[in-house]
Amino acid sequence: MIEWILYFILAMTAIIIMQSTYNSLLYRQKKSALKVILVVIIDGVTLVLSLATAYGISRLEHLQKVGLIIRIINVPFASFFNYLPKWALFIWFVLPLLIAWVFFLFKGGIVYQAIKRKFIEFNKNQALAKKETKEHKNKVQNSQTKPKLETQSIPSNAKKMPPKMHFLDDVQLHHLEPKTFAGVKKMAMMAKNGLIVGKTKNGYVACYRTGQGYKDLKKLFSKNSIDISMLKPQSSIVFFNHDKVKAQSFKNYIRKMKEGAL
């Protein structure tokens, strides 16, 4: 009986060491050949030492004094367990633990795969956003360099026309009141269904609370050559025109309204 208890403690110790080594060096970390070799060495040494210790435990009973003590302790335990119905104990105590272990192992695998898919999708979205931002910056740079070549033929007394404050002709505009709490609350409710846009004195205000609304606003900015680098993939209120973009989350915007900082 004592030997089996020692075997169990030894096995649990070896498993904990191996699992801790894997978690600290490889799990969700950048893998390298050195780390893999180090994990293999540590696990190999742990396995060899565990087997050697298990062999030593199996020889304890053959020692003169230690073996006598072990046999004396084992006698009452052996007598007690010989009277117990082994299959009934297995069904009542061991089988439920095995079923629970298999269930949680399967459930943990499903949860891990779901988290992994979300993580991969998040990385793809981030890479796509960076690519779109880079392409937009290139377009802006190209549009800024071309007029410089053409301005040489413009007369010196020609007046530069200011950009139009309201230039969205093909967008459905809503009556929005971003300066009042009731208006912001109404905007938040409307933004649950996607992107909404409205006019302001100096341009436009837009808000979104969904991923599709965020994508739609980026497309609108790209179509009208507006910098999308200020946009964030979170619920936001955005004031913009051709020259300026100011985006902030609903939470920060409401906080500033309460503080009178707008």
Give pLDDT, residue 74.
Answer: 66
The Cα diameter of the chain in Å comes to 113
pLDDT of 108 > 70? The answer is yes
Alpha carbon distance 18, 39 (integer Å): 8
In this predicted structure, the answer to whether residue 15 has a pLDDT above a threshold of 80 is yes
Examine the pLDDT at 126 and tell me if it is beyond 90.
no
Q: What confidence category does residue 79 fall into, taking pLDDT thresholds of 50, 70 and 90?
A: low
Model pTM? 0.39
Give me the mean pLDDT over the 180-205 stretch: 90
Whole-Å CA distances, 83 to 76, 77, 87, 182, 251: 11, 10, 12, 77, 68
pLDDT digits (tens, 9 = 90+) for 129-183: 788 778 777 777 776 665 544 444 444 444 555 567 788 888 888 998 988 888 9
The pairing of beta strand 245-249 with beta strand 236-240: antiparallel
Say what percent of the chain tops pLDDT 70.
Answer: 82
Mean pLDDT, range 105-134, rounded to an integer: 81
Task: Give the pLDDT of residue 152.
Answer: 47
CB 17 within 8 A of CB 44: no
- A 10 A CB-CB count for 221 gives 21
pLDDT at residue 42, as a whole number: 92
Q: With a cut of 80, say whether residue 112 has pLDDT above it.
A: no
Residue 22 and residue 62 in contact, taking contact as beta carbons nearer than 8 Å: no
- pLDDT, residue 205, reads 93
Least confident of 73-82, 155-164, 176-185, 194-203: 155-164
CA–CA separation, 85 and 7 (whole Å): 23
Res 150: pLDDT = 47
Q: Indicate whether 239 pLDDT > 90.
A: yes
* Confidence band, pLDDT 50/70/90 cuts, at residue 22: confident
Q: Please give the pLDDT value at position 158.
A: 45
What is the rounded CA–CA span in Å between residue 241 and residue 61? 86
Alpha-carbon distance of 232 to 254, in angstroms, equals 17
Evaluate if residue 54 carries a pLDDT over 80: yes
Burial of 105 (0-12, 13-18, 19+ CB in 10 A): exposed
